[in-house]
Amino acid sequence: MNTDRQTRDNLWTLITPPTVWALHFLVSYVLAAYACAPNVQVFETIGGARIAIAGVTLVALILIGAVFRRALHEWRTEGGSGFHNDEDSGAGRERFLEFSTVLLAALSFVSVLFVALPVLINADCR
């Protein structure tokens, strides 16, 4: 198995999707708290915060989708997309990191959608 690849996966590529999700979570909830904190009226709409959170969500989904696509392409094209990574070689470790990145990116993508879900459901600060 040839380990000379166009891209080299490492722990940074593995932790990028959960980091994007965590930053999205933080920014979304800070924006919602900032929009609702000064309001005395509970039923006042938070339209500006909803638009900002939608934009942040779109950026996060694009970033996570790009990492997912790249890792999936690398995993499928090099090494035949096997689930067995029992080789103690550079190529086996590379496939393991690629597959782990695919799984974490998919989980992070769904997590970002669930973080943004309350903004779609709630239009005010209740």
Residue pair 72/103 in contact by the 8 Å Cβ criterion: no
pTM across the whole model: 0.81
The SS3 call for residue 35 is helix
Q: Which of 68, 100, 88 is CA-nearest to residue 1?
A: 88
**The token pair that represents 111 in the structure block:** 């997590």
20-24, 40-44, 78-82, 85-89: least confidently modelled range: 78-82
How far apart CA 27 and CA 126 sit, in angstroms, is 19
**Model confidence pLDDT, tens digit, residues 14-60:** 999 999 999 999 999 999 888 888 766 667 778 888 999 999 999 99
Residue pair 112/64 in contact by the 8 Å Cβ criterion: yes
Say which DSSP state 44 is in: -
Residue pair 8/99 in contact by the 8 Å Cβ criterion: no
